[in-house]
């Protein structure tokens, strides 16, 4: 039985998208076992699949401090992390790699990642496409998954190009009209 690290009440199974997580009925905090946060994020918005929110993967993007809570799964001490631009404060278990989010923090993470998606420059998308291209050949996920991520980056890179260079879009539209 898993207990809420905050209230000590029993956590109740709940689904976020297709992901089974554990929620405290009292404080509405949510426990994500290893990889469940990533899968729930991907289910919440498929355009975010290629954006990583893997806490342990980008140590340069977070600040961690000690935490007073113990992990609901393995009972080890957790650490408190402020993750990157999201400004979300989460509790993370370095031992089992689970994540505790307070009420509404999952939505804040999704909102932050969507904002990141919309504010990246064309140059940022170029860099990401190169990284994702390399991951197609050597990444941790399947070829199909990496290809989908790469395709999403290219799609958003195209959108960003037309936002940053509207005259290019008008030229393409004019050229298409003359061909038809």
Condensed to tens digits (0 to 9), the pLDDT of residues 68-111 reads 889 999 999 999 888 666 778 889 998 999 999 999 999 998 88
Give the pLDDT confidence of 120-168 residue by residue, as tens digits. Answer: 888 888 888 888 788 777 877 788 877 888 888 888 888 888 888 888 8
Could you tell me if 113 and 40 are in contact, meaning their C-beta atoms sit under 8 angstroms apart?
Answer: no
* pLDDT value of residue 31: 97
- Looking at the whole model, is its pTM more than 0.85? no
N-terminal to C-terminal alpha carbon distance within the chain: 66
pLDDT band at 52 (very low <50, low <70, confident <90, very high): low
* pLDDT value of residue 133: 80
* Sign of the torsion formed by the C-alpha atoms of 63, 64, 68 and 71: positive
* pLDDT value of residue 73: 94
Which residue, chain included where needed, has tokens 């089974």? 20
């Amino acid at each position: 039985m898993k207990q809420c690290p905050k209230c000590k009440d029993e956590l109740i199974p709940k689904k976020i998208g297709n992901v089974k997580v554990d929620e405290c009925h009292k404080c509405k905090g949510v426990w994500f076992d290893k990889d469940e946060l990533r899968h729930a994020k991907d289910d919440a918005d498929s355009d975010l699949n290629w954006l990583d929110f893997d806490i342990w993967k980008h140590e340069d993007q977070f600040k961690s401090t000690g935490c007073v809570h113990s992990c609901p799964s393995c009972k080890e001490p957790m650490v408190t992390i402020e993750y990157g631009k999201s400004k979300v404060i989460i509790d993370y278990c370095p031992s089992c790699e689970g994540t505790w989010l307070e009420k509404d923090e999952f939505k804040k993470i999704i909102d932050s990642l969507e904002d990141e998606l919309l504010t990246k420059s064309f140059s940022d998308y170029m860099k990401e496409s190169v990284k994702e291209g390399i991951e197609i050949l050597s990444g941790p996920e399947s070829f199909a998954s990496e290809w989908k991520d790469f395709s999403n980056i290219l799609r958003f890179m195209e959108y960003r190009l037309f936002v940053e260079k509207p005259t290019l879009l008008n030229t393409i539209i004019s050229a298409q009209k003359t061909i038809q």
